[in-house]
Structure 1
Amino acid sequence: MVGREQFQDELEKVKGKIIELAYGAEKLLNQAVDAIYNSDIELAKQVIAYDKELDKKDMEINEAAILLIAKQQPVASDLRRLIVAIRISSDLERMGDNAKNIAKSTIHLGEDHGIDIHKSIKDMKDVAVKMIDISVKAYENEDITLARKLGELDDLIDGMYSNMLRELLEETATNPQKIQHIMQMAFSGRYVERFGDHATNIGENIMYLVKGESCDLN
């Protein structure tokens, strides 16, 4: 009995670390988008530096989960919980990478690029943040109803990104001298769009955790 209780305690610790990682990725996205709108090079550099902390957390989660699998040899739902923990942690770490890439675009643009950052990047970011919050709640409560909502929100971000990309391509026709800067903006929109994809992956993993079968939310 003690062994079972200890195992459950370790599982909860892994879950807690994943939630910390999720909110770390959310913080990084908010900061990265703030940096690009404000041409804040110093904040962009902080985002790049902090991404290394998220990488470290991802490694800790992976090591803890793998150790539990090796020591406890769990089966059925417990094994799925550990597999899902590793998968979700990987998606969250990649979210951090995307925030880092937005920060790199901010640095590439510089402080005096002379163009307005497309409003859709912030709008997409707001939806992506909502998706992270929903994915955390769905994971905490193993709630497949919440998990399904992530696919709908991902479709919303995809549509916003497509519209933004079309408008940016039109802008390159009228401002060909700004094409490199406009492309950095397009890349940044793509990085935010990828947040939605990774959040949807988390939703699919929650569905797998609860139902024991793969599910495509896209």
Structure 2
Amino acid sequence: MDDGESGGRHIDRVFEGELRALRESITLMAGRVELMIAGSVRALMGADVELAGRIIAEDARVNRAELEIDELCLLLLAKRQPVAGDLRFITFTLKMVTDLERVADLAVNIAERVRDLQRDPPSFALHDGIGRMTEIVQSMISDAIDSFVQRDIETAQSVIDSDDEIDALYHKVFGDLLRGLHGMPEAGMRALIHVMSVAKWLERMGDHAVNVAELVIFMVNGDDVRHLGKRGLDDARDD
């Protein structure tokens, strides 16, 4: 074996290790974000200001993780000059971590509402749909990241399909809460509006999970299904 071939194999092994480290960093960041989602809603339901504060503080770690992943991606692009699938994975990672970071920001928004609700405590029970939306969103985020790291189109498609349930729940929760506004005193109205905002932020988290899933489909088979809408996605799947 000549030195050139040996050196090439060494570089390949090093690059594989770097890609593995990148995948691990993505998974760790996603895990933090999933915990923030669960914690923010748990703090909301339990009126737990201390937990809400911890969720808000956790956002700094997620922001730092995003910057570290961005730096690693840019370093790999400059140093390794990847091609084909590896190039798509690295460049799409730069897009994907932005969605993850925005989900964390939305979890912070929910945690901040815990403090607001301390000032305007609700005179009503939180809508059951909030808990169900949280469960679905956590699953969507987890599956979206798994599909990205594993380049798994089937799981990505299941994330996209789950968005219909999130949207339906959001409209039900929002509609039910809106009807509750009539005849409510001002303090109660403020509390109700905070909860309506929480439902909207959970729905937006689902949208970010869909963004990641759509990147997976584009990354793996080259089909850009972003912005197609439900009918366009069905047509693309049938082709």
Match of 1:65 among 73, 83, 101: 73
Aligned residue among 185, 206, 210 for 2:195: 185
Q: Are the counterparts in 2 of residues 14 and 85 from structure 1 also a CA contact under 8 Å?
A: no
How is 1:207-218 mapped onto 2 (pairs within 5 angstroms)? 207-216=217-226, 218=230
Equivalent residue number for residue 212 of structure 2: 202
| Identical-residue share of aligned pairs (%) | 30
Post-superposition CA distance 1:48-87 (Å, at most 9, x none): 0001111110110001001111111222211101011111
State the 4+ residue runs in structure 1 displaced beyond 6 angstroms: none
Identify the structure with bigger relative contact order (alpha carbons < 8 Å, sequence gap 6+).
1
Partner of 2:96: 88
Question: Whole-Å Cα distance in 1 between the matches of residues 216 and 17 of structure 2?
Answer: 20
Deviation at 1:176, TM superposition (A): 4.0
Contact 2:22 2:69 in 1 (8 A): yes
**Residue 144, structure 1, aligned to residue 153, structure 2:** yes
Separation of aligned partners in 2, 1:182 and 1:84 = 38
Give the TM-score, by structure 2 length: 0.87
For residues 43 and 115 of structure 1, what CA distance do their matches in structure 2 show?
A: 21
C-alpha distance in structure 2 between counterparts of 1:188 and 1:29, whole Å: 11
C-alpha distance in 2 between matches for 1:119 and 1:44: 20
Tell me by how many angstroms 1:118 deviates: 1.4
Aligned-partner Cα distance in 1 for 2:88–2:167 = 30
Whether the 8 Å CA contact 1:131–1:153 is kept in 2: the answer is yes
Query: Which residue pairs with 2:170 in the alignment?
Result: 161
Partner of 2:109: 101
Write the distance in 2 (CA, Å) between the matches of 1:141 and 1:14. 13
TM-score scaled by structure 1? Answer: 0.95
**Structure 1, 200-209 or 172-181: larger mean CA deviation:** 172-181
CA contact (8 A) 1:26 1:132 kept: yes
Return 5+ residue gaps in structure 2 as ranges: 1-8, 231-239
Greater displacement, 111-120 / 142-151: 111-120
Q: Which whole-Å CA distance do the structure 2 matches of 1:212 and 1:76 have between them?
A: 11
| Matches for 1:10-25 after TM superposition, within 5 Å | 10-25=18-33
The structure number with the bigger radius of gyration is 2
RMSD: 1.4
Amino acid at match of 1:125: T
